[in-house]
Structure 1
């Protein structure tokens, strides 16, 4: 195998063009094999194979900095940069990350996981390179979906003004996870190749100016006029960025030739390459949405696997039904229709559905605009992505107490996607905002009750739920819920565990049949059920709080603050995630490591004397 000869990017320099073509196919086979074992970002990585091979053939990583926006298309890059022998561990506990990660390899120029960050990073690197008088290339690979992000467009504006040397590769496959939306996406679909007058060669300009400055000025003005005419449909020209393309992103030989030419140009250049997501694997080509990030599968007989009924699906079903009852309900998503369970909703209520693309800030402020004019917007957004709309939540929604519901998906530790995707900060950054309320349902039926009540009550409400499966609620069921009231799931004579969401199962497991230990579904995080909390403290119960969220600033912190305000000092233990980032791996293992599982709860109860002795603990604890 040609791949056996490649242990670093330097080895690509010695391969023939035919060997490079073979290498591309072998890389695809390896990506398919490992994704079959582990799951992972399959279709996006298959679509970028030739692009990555050509980059490493022409450029000199790690001296030259290769930036991959989001990073989920960079599997071939990982294999070619010394991680071939550990590639089978990708996204596994103790293995390599599914995204690029600076601390993992010197070849990973940035740590990525969220979209639209690479251009600002590239700009900063170009400024640092020039300030330090260093000499290396900077190449940013960004998808057409990520380019719609406001951060990417804002960075492009500064790049055009700064005019520093860097290469931007626009990887155009008409897809991010869902189909791309927006004016830029429409432009890419309709754009046809056009020739225009390139900059005159420096020697030609010098000669012409020396012979006749007047003639030089006349020709230069004519050239600029021609450019304006030929570029009038090209938005990058207005930004002051040289544009080349579109070109075939799977033409390996052509890409190598282009990169060799483009690396000699000064100033910023965009190379527009057209690729096919899932390239080389027929099922992924046919359905790039499912095969974007599938679970494990048999590469020889690939079949779609039911992932079970998820919380996302429960939300989608609930909001679809609720829209028939409330004509003002309007659902917004920032490019996560499939992930947020909104396919059915988008089909049944297409006139009350908005996908803003990868623009979380736009989604939040658009929700504010809708609420200001009488609609009832529901913003379906992952916890980790909602971080990108923090200012908009405060400035545009909370100050005026607007009727916006945040359906906060993937709350808590998420597993294989790791630190960039763990939704473990939302309670801390939301509960400090006046007017914002936070709730966490224990099941799909309670999710329905909270959605309906939130619509009736108004004001900004965040309803958070984990990346997990849940039992389906009966269609048409809309139970009543008393807002702000907790629920006693099991009575106790000595202690109570206060928990919600994913850690509620640990609380019930820890309590078991022990009559001394009670369990409370603390489903309202803001407002807290201060009446119940005060009663428990006054009656002398020992308390343990447990949450799949950062301990600092989370639910437990809120409970301690409330008890302090009430002047009460019960025996209490607060369990939550410690002050560090958690990498990818098994959710159960990370919960154990963090000390929020059933064993950790029992240990806390033992320290308070509720149970006789703590159970045997893992030696790594």
Structure 2
């Protein structure tokens, strides 16, 4: 048998394949996912775990007429390969290539653009309302993981879906994992619903025997099974929501999946099919460690080894709070399902009584922090910039109004590379600096991060400390330098101009200035409040360039211009930041260069001010 994948250009091609060919197709899809992810990095384990499910969905439903929604979208690599993108699949997550998630503008088969969890069910409900109002009859299928289903947005949507009783199918893809281990009461209940393997095997065997002996006998047994399920699952929460529940079933049994989907697609009202899958299925290393292989960098598929990624800002944060917790007994760390990503594995093991993972519920993380602060604790909410967007109201309403002692440790601030516009952390300065009582800081290195965290515990109030997705030199243990709160730091003196930068852009500023005595560099480490005393001094005698890995609109440069207007100062100034558009995925240095916030872009801005530098000058 030749390659089956070569014969598939659209989902329609799956409908003429035999059962044996479909099984071979699943293996070929896994091989291609492993091959390309080994080259590009990407979402490996989650995509491998969903292969049979995606093959079955495209065999039974008619995409793009029928709408198949993938929550988060990082499990949809097989979907991309089956929907006319296999010739471009090698470009996934590369600049100018395919997105690592589903994206409406990329393909008519991608029902939603997504990168954050728990959004599929509300989208599906909206589509069902539109379909019925317009008198259309297409099917809607939402595929959501057990981790994403615990998110508040998903649960609220389920509540409304149960009330409105619209025709849609929800696939609960239950692999017991999101990125971190799933948590919560609902997750524990999923475990009780998972039927043991021997029961599923016996069910499949019995079904086959009965079908061969007598279709009528099989039909009677099937009705008896459904009646028994109604009795056995009275405590199933989905019934309380008014949702039909089917399962759990083996998510890697392709024949059974196709059989079930064929029957379920004709049912009226909302149905949940509970599918149990194994993250990393078919690739031993990914099965054995689905956390690391959820999103690995490139690797050798024949000899897959964990790659040491270097010491990261996330690790620097995790090490700092682990040590700080020994010094400050009131310190308490909260994460919304990002223990590994936020560098908190060691902390969670060292201080388990002062650690909480709330699951994929960013709003709950922030407001839980508020509750802790109201009773005298010192909470630190470790959260990615892109996910903090989902808790903006809680930052204002629950934390800032009462000026509570909550530290927001904002990871992945700035452009993050291959994950693209759904994950770039380029809005937090703009949406946070308008909030009264809130301080925003950005350390230049791991030692300054430690200084800011320790001082933040002493200063109190809502404080956001942002740092990039990048490597950083480790800070020595036990060292806690003092920092003058709210002040900037001159790293290099200049005679004609100063570059005001912070965080990741400091590297570019120092490279651009080189050894030229005309240009100075300032570590503008406090974004709110600005160091207006230093700003006023510089504005009276020097030309200025601000540079940030953030949207220019509403960002640090905007804050500087507003301050200069208040101070009635009019220096020659250029503001460098990201343009007013969503930045696509790609390598971070390349994206920075295109946005003009790298060393070359800074030199161009200085040249426009009459200070011409050359790239050949030593850094």
TM-score where L is the length of structure 1: 0.93
Structure 2: distance between partners of 1:150 and 1:192: 23
Tell me by how many angstroms 1:595 deviates. Answer: 1.0
User: Residue 245 of structure 1: SS of its match in structure 2?
Assistant: strand
Question: After TM superposition, where is structure 1 displaced by more than 3 Å over at least 4 residues in a row?
Answer: 192-195, 224-231, 612-615
Residue 569 of structure 2 aligns with which residue?
A: 568
Residue 590 of structure 2 aligns with which residue?
A: 589
Residue 30 of structure 1 aligns with which residue?
A: 32
Residue 57 of structure 1 aligns with which residue?
A: 59
Output one character per residue of 1:492-523: Cα deviation in whole Å (capped at 9) or x when no partner.
00000000011111100110010000000000
Residue 104 of structure 2 aligns with which residue?
A: 102
User: Quick check: 1:69–1:115 contact (8 Å CA) kept in 2?
Assistant: yes
Residue 218 of structure 2 aligns with which residue?
A: none
**1:188–1:579 distance in 2 versus 1, CA, 3 Å:** same
Tell me by how many angstroms 1:611 deviates. Answer: 1.7
User: Quick check: 2:603–2:613 contact (8 Å CA) kept in 1?
Assistant: no
> What RMSD in Å do the two structures reach over aligned CA positions?
1.6
Structure 1: distance between partners of 2:406 and 2:89: 43
Residue 471 of structure 2 aligns with which residue?
A: 469
Structure 1: distance between partners of 2:463 and 2:559: 17
Structure 2: distance between partners of 1:377 and 1:67: 36
Aligned partner of 2:297 among 292, 295, 298: 295
Q: Residues 329-408 of structure 1 correspond to what in structure 2 (within 5 A)?
A: 329-408=331-410
Structure 2: distance between partners of 1:581 and 1:338: 27
Structure 1: distance between partners of 2:192 and 2:137: 38
Q: Residues 531-570 of structure 1 correspond to what in structure 2 (within 5 A)?
A: 531-538=533-540, 540-570=541-571
Whether 1:598 and 2:596 are equivalent positions in the alignment is no
Structure 1: distance between partners of 2:81 and 2:147: 25
Output one character per residue of 1:311-356: Cα deviation in whole Å (capped at 9) or x when no partner.
0000000000000000000000000000000000000000100000
User: Quick check: 1:603–1:614 contact (8 Å CA) kept in 2?
Assistant: no
Q: Which moved more, 1:380-389 or 1:184-193?
A: 184-193
**1:12–1:309 distance in 2 versus 1, CA, 3 Å:** same
Tell me by how many angstroms 1:292 deviates. Answer: 0.2
Output one character per residue of 1:121-140: Cα deviation in whole Å (capped at 9) or x when no partner.
00000000000001100000
User: Residue 84 of structure 2: SS of its match in structure 1?
Assistant: helix
Output one character per residue of 1:60-83: Cα deviation in whole Å (capped at 9) or x when no partner.
000000000000000000000000
Tell me by how many angstroms 1:381 deviates. Answer: 0.2
Tell me by how many angstroms 1:233 deviates. Answer: 1.6
Tell me by how many angstroms 1:230 deviates. Answer: 3.7
Structure 2: distance between partners of 1:59 and 1:237: 25
Structure 1: distance between partners of 2:478 and 2:195: 53
Structure 1: distance between partners of 2:469 and 2:303: 27
Tell me by how many angstroms 1:610 deviates. Answer: 1.5
Whether 1:83 and 2:85 are equivalent positions in the alignment is yes
Output one character per residue of 1:560-603: Cα deviation in whole Å (capped at 9) or x when no partner.
00010001111000000010001110101111111111111111
User: Quick check: 1:606–1:614 contact (8 Å CA) kept in 2?
Assistant: no
Q: Residues 363-512 of structure 1 correspond to what in structure 2 (within 5 A)?
A: 363-512=365-514
Output one character per residue of 1:71-128: Cα deviation in whole Å (capped at 9) or x when no partner.
0000000000000011000000110000000000000000010000000000000000
User: Residue 421 of structure 2: SS of its match in structure 1?
Assistant: coil
Tell me by how many angstroms 1:232 deviates. Answer: 2.7
Residue 176 of structure 1 aligns with which residue?
A: 178
Residue 9 of structure 1 aligns with which residue?
A: 11
Structure 2: distance between partners of 1:42 and 1:601: 38
Structure 1 segments unaligned to the other structure (5+ residues)? 196-223, 616-621
Q: Which moved more, 1:186-195 or 1:173-182?
A: 186-195
Structure 2: distance between partners of 1:4 and 1:592: 38
Structure 2: distance between partners of 1:496 and 1:561: 18
Tell me by how many angstroms 1:225 deviates. Answer: 12
User: Quick check: 1:606–1:613 contact (8 Å CA) kept in 2?
Assistant: no
Structure 2: distance between partners of 1:34 and 1:608: 46
Tell me by how many angstroms 1:190 deviates. Answer: 1.4
Structure 1: distance between partners of 2:316 and 2:590: 26
Residue 206 of structure 1 aligns with which residue?
A: none
User: Residue 401 of structure 1: SS of its match in structure 2?
Assistant: coil
Residue 275 of structure 1 aligns with which residue?
A: 277
User: Residue 504 of structure 2: SS of its match in structure 1?
Assistant: helix
Residue 21 of structure 2 aligns with which residue?
A: 19
Structure 2: distance between partners of 1:588 and 1:312: 20
User: Quick check: 1:360–1:388 contact (8 Å CA) kept in 2?
Assistant: yes
Structure 1: distance between partners of 2:14 and 2:228: 41
Structure 1: distance between partners of 2:65 and 2:473: 52
User: Residue 419 of structure 1: SS of its match in structure 2?
Assistant: helix
Q: Residues 156-195 of structure 1 correspond to what in structure 2 (within 5 A)?
A: 156-191=158-193
User: Quick check: 2:194–2:276 contact (8 Å CA) kept in 1?
Assistant: no
Q: Residues 307-318 of structure 1 correspond to what in structure 2 (within 5 A)?
A: 307-318=309-320
Structure 2 segments unaligned to the other structure (5+ residues)? 200-225
Tell me by how many angstroms 1:231 deviates. Answer: 3.2
